[in-house]
Structure 1
Amino acid sequence: CRTPMLLVASLLWGALASPDTSQSCPVPRSIEHGQVEHLARYQCDPYYQLRSRGDGLYRCSQQHVWVNEAAGEVLPICEPVCGKPKNPARQVQRIIGGMMAAKNSFPWQGRLLSRHNHTAGATLISDQWLLTTGRNLYLGHSENSTLEEIALTLRLFLGRETPAGAVERIVLHPEFPGAVDLALLKLKHKVPIGEAVMPICLAQQDYAKVGRVGFVSGWGWNVLLEHPKHLKYVLLPVADSGSCQVYYQAHPLQPLLNNHTFCVGMSELRESTCVGDAGSAFAIHDPEDDTWYAAGILSFDRSCQAAKYGIYVRVLSVLDWIKETMAAH
């Protein structure tokens, strides 16, 4: 920052790109009774947003160091935009049956293949972390298997069959399996964010109100008890927890029901989620900020058409654990 010129810089993957001198502006001319200020402005690529204590504008100090008024010498970070799909699913009516998802409608949807090709869901929540159920990870494994052994057998796909790479770390919720059926997966490498692959935002408020309709996508069994070749989704309503608990008290299936979960009913066409959908998000579109949020993660996916309610882990109740885990690793 020794020459008197205006420098507009872009922040690409956390580093300042070297300016192309062949296309740079000429040194600005001096003005009488004035001076030229040395500036650098950090900007993010499409589908990323600037996170900084300051505004991204850095000035060349007398010590020849780039400094931001609020952040000092600390560089800003470009973090992925979440919950802004280019081609969002539309609610044609209050509740509809299962439909084939259009391209890039659910860019946070992951497909998890565990040992022996067991299919399950996973939800992208950053460019390196996904949520799924703890039980999904043990499909094809014994209870004595270590998380390191399980991680080596997992295959993850995002978007249209795009491999997400190796899983570096598995973190089970501390109350798994007794109370919270949830796990975090950290990828070895960050995935590029764009139209086809984009995380969903985590709910910062309680969207799981009775009657609220959410979108659930996945590769769960269809009516032929087969995993579909194309991603499908269904609109389902949040159900009354009391009725749900009474229902399962007299049912042979006994899912986890507690303060960490909420129940979701069937569509008007009596469609629901099924085997292979667990780990997918109960996605809510908030019209106030035009953003999609994960209100829940499907835990009990064996309702199909044989049980009235699906069970979801309430994201808001585990939000602190998610944030703390991601920050610690």
Structure 2
Amino acid sequence: MFLISSFKLTKQGSKRAGNFVIMEIPQKEKYVFKDVVKITCLEGFEVVQGSGSLPHFYSTCQSNGKWSNSKLKCEPVDCGSPDHIPNGKVEEPEDTLFGSVARYTCEEPYYYMQNEESGEYHCAGNGSWVNDVLGTELPQCVPVCGIPSKPFEGTQRIFGGSFADIENFPWQVFFANPRAGGALIDEYWVLTAAHVVEKNRNPEMYVGSTLVNRERLTNSQILIPERVIIHPGWTFLDDPETRKNFDNDIALIRLKDPVKMGPTVSLICLPGNSSEYNPSEGAMGLISGWGRTENKNIVLKLRGARLPIAPLQKCKEVKAKKSGVDVKTYVFTDNMICAGDQKGVDSCEGDSGGALVLQDPDKSNPKFYVAGLVSWGPQCGTYGIYTKVKNYIDWIKKTMQENSTPSTD
């Protein structure tokens, strides 16, 4: 029962007690039969009736001297359990009532919160979980890029090779048929060379495995392509074997489902637009893949190598051992990077489309970024040509944005 006599008149002309305020209609010092007051709950409280709720109710002075609806009361708003988020978790409070706090975290170290201040939500008076920065929008856990869970220690050449673990190159994508490589740049996107997919728009791809024999691949993540997008500047040929122009050798593959990150699977960062991301001569890069070696045409265990960035002229001067191959007849453009040396440090057949990664120029940001994609080379074990990814950043971002929704084909 509401004890009107115990209420105190406020400056606003209302009486207040407990979790509610009595708004007098009209305002009076005394109440008589048939007088009505509007009882409004304080912020964060509500009148619960059945399956619904109201912020206020009316009470009438009855002939027996008691107020109607005297059993109704203002109870704390219940926001219910906070929603769960992909690749993260929520630490639920002891109760979910008004004023309670819920804290979100991401699955570190493979995901991080896009907005650092968006982890804490409080139960608001309107029944919603609210964050000071995002409001009612849930936080997003986004994949970390460019940080292998295990640093690569090998120093030998990939063409002949230094064995590696997939944890050294967790962005490495394996293309089964024909054999090739790619780089995971987003949970929905793979970056590769155009010549890898120009004749195969439905590639069989895997991530997360050091060994690529069938038994091991069954335990890795298979990537299902939704669409393949080849750069519009790529020239298509009826017979790719006769190709001498590898300009714009770059393609994107949109995946049907997001890739789950972990110790064996993570993204490689994209380069920035500044001149710092133009690879300088002598800078050491890392490459990886399951391509051909001196002794084996079919390689099952991942290999990796360090190799230096070289002047484009070095690639132009390579003497191919294969008869009929004259490097002077090939097209060289500013969209290409030359890397390697005369000591056998190189990529080879089966490595195409894989990433040439460099340390981020920002020393405070110890990450790797994809500087190039394995494109072509006149002779394995010498200098090779890589597509210069920095020149395509605008196209990459625009393509990803325009194709961010699932295909309806």
TM range, normalised to the smaller chain? 0.7 to 0.9
Percent of pairs identical after alignment?
30
Pairwise mapping of residues 97-246 of structure 1 onto structure 2 (< 5 A)? 98-113=161-176, 117-138=177-198, 141=199, 150-152=200-202, 154-160=203-209, 161=217, 162-177=220-235, 179-204=247-272, 205-245=276-316
Matched, 1:13 2:86: yes
Aligned partner (choices 26, 36, 40) of residue 102 of structure 2: 40
Structure with bigger RCO (C-alpha 8 Å, 6+ apart): 1
Residue 40 of structure 1: CA displacement? 2.8
Residue 78 of structure 1: CA displacement? 1.1
Corresponding residue of 1:65: 128
Residue 88 of structure 1: CA displacement? 1.4
Partners of 1:236 and 1:80 lie apart in 2 by 27
What is the TM-score normalised by the length of structure 1? Answer: 0.79
Residue 151 of structure 1: CA displacement? 3.0
Residue 284 of structure 1: CA displacement? 1.5
- The count of residues paired between Structure 1 and Structure 2 equals 301
Residue 323 of structure 1: CA displacement? 1.4
The residue matched to 1:151 in structure 2 has which SS? coil
Partners of 1:44 and 1:11 lie apart in 2 by 11
Aligned partner (choices 266, 282, 302) of residue 341 of structure 2: 266
Partners of 2:166 and 2:340 lie apart in 1 by 26
Partners of 1:87 and 1:213 lie apart in 2 by 18
Corresponding residue of 2:367: 291
Corresponding residue of 1:32: none
Change (3 A) 1:10 1:239: farther
Residue 168 of structure 1: CA displacement? 0.6
Do the aligned residues in 2 keep the contact of 1:98 with 1:235 (CA within 8 Å)? no
Do the aligned residues in 1 keep the contact of 2:79 with 2:128 (CA within 8 Å)? no
Corresponding residue of 2:61: none
Corresponding residue of 1:84: 147
Corresponding residue of 2:12: none
The residue matched to 1:164 in structure 2 has which SS? strand
Change (3 A) 1:8 1:225: same
Corresponding residue of 1:25: 94
Residue 312 of structure 1: CA displacement? 1.0
Q: Which moved more, 1:244-253 or 1:165-174?
A: 244-253
Partners of 1:315 and 1:9 lie apart in 2 by 41
Residue 50 of structure 1: CA displacement? 1.1
1:85-131 Cα distance to aligned partner (Å, 9 max, x none): 11110365999973010351111111112xxx320111111112111
Residue 41 of structure 1: CA displacement? 2.6
Do the aligned residues in 1 keep the contact of 2:155 with 2:162 (CA within 8 Å)? no
Partners of 1:231 and 1:94 lie apart in 2 by 12
Partners of 1:276 and 1:93 lie apart in 2 by 18
Corresponding residue of 1:31: none
Change (3 A) 1:243 1:223: closer
- The structure with more radius of gyration: 2
Q: Which amino acid aligns with 2:187?
A: D
The residue matched to 2:186 in structure 1 has which SS? coil
The residue matched to 2:102 in structure 1 has which SS? strand
Partners of 2:207 and 2:118 lie apart in 1 by 33
Residue 12 of structure 1: CA displacement? 3.1
Change (3 A) 1:194 1:313: same
1:146-184 Cα distance to aligned partner (Å, 9 max, x none): xxxx333x1001121324232111111121136301000
The residue matched to 2:306 in structure 1 has which SS? strand
Partners of 2:364 and 2:387 lie apart in 1 by 24
Change (3 A) 1:264 1:110: same
Corresponding residue of 1:147: none
Do the aligned residues in 1 keep the contact of 2:172 with 2:181 (CA within 8 Å)? yes
Q: Which amino acid aligns with 2:182?
A: A
Q: Which amino acid aligns with 2:352?
A: A
